[in-house]
Structures are given as structure tokens and as C-alpha cells.
Homo-oligomer: A and B are copies of this chain.
């Protein structure tokens, strides 16, 4: 078992495919599982389809409709319109993923990719902790 950190730069709200970056961390590994953890509460991880960029747009629309930005009823709003909505979106999608590995790479399905989902409107550097086992 081994553990490493991976830092990902995000450029505003949206999902970024990090499959290749995670696979680079796993090269030559003989592990069978990879655990990826985001050490933040307004960014999350998501596995979904990678064949059509429209899919990510529809997902973003879904969350915008279901989790209001700048809801006047929010008490926690010190960091702006995307503050509380970012936390809720992170809870719904989740801060970690565990993924099977084969031959030193994520054994994702043919159409699956791993995405880091940035929920804030600002640029960030997000810290991920990657554990192979």
C-alpha cells in the first residue's frame, strides 16, 4: 500500500477529467484498488461517461436546477453565491472514489472517466490523496 498527493488546478465551476493524471500516479503499480480522496468541501469526485461533452453540460444544468446558488434562505453564504451550493453539490456527489486497478491503471469501464468536480466559480488548486492497495 502506498499513498501520494496529487494537486489539480481548476478553472472555475465544472468537471475536469482527471483519469490520465491519476493513471500517471499509478504507473507500474501492482495494486488492485485505487482510492482517491478530495481534501476539500466544495469540490468532489464523479465517475460518468466520457464520450460526449454534452453530458457534462447536462449534469451541470441538473445541479444548478436542484441546488440553488445564492438561495436567500442560506445562512452560510460568506464566500459568495456558490458557497452553500458548493457544499451541497459536494455532499451529493461525494469526496472519494474507490476504483479497481489492472496493470497499473484504473480499470474503469469503456465509457467511464473519473472527474474532479469544482463547484466554486473561482480558480483553485485542489489537493487529492491517492492510496493504492
Query: Which A residues are within 8 Å of any B CB, using their own CB?
Result: 1, 3, 32-33, 35, 37-41, 46-49, 52, 54-55, 57-59, 61-62, 66-67, 73-76, 78, 84, 87-88, 90-100, 107-112, 127, 129, 131, 133
CB pair A111–B67 under 8 Å, yes or no, is no
**Interface SS of chain A:** mixed
CB pair B41–A95 under 8 Å, yes or no, is no
CB pair B48–A131 under 8 Å, yes or no, is no
- Closest chain-B Cβ to A101's Cβ sits at a distance in Å of 9
Q: Knowing A41-B49, A49-B41, A109-B39 are in contact, say whether A93-B91 is a contact too (CB < 8 A).
A: yes
Residues of B within 8 A of A67 (CB): 62
CB pair B109–A127 under 8 Å, yes or no, is yes
Residues of B within 8 A of A55 (CB): 76, 84, 87
Residues of B within 8 A of A90 (CB): 48
Please, how many angstroms separate the alpha-carbon atoms of A54 and B61 in the complex? 26
Please, how many angstroms separate the alpha-carbon atoms of A46 and B87 in the complex? 11
CB pair B131–A37 under 8 Å, yes or no, is no
Residues of B within 8 A of A94 (CB): 94
- Closest chain-B Cβ to A63's Cβ sits at a distance in Å of 9
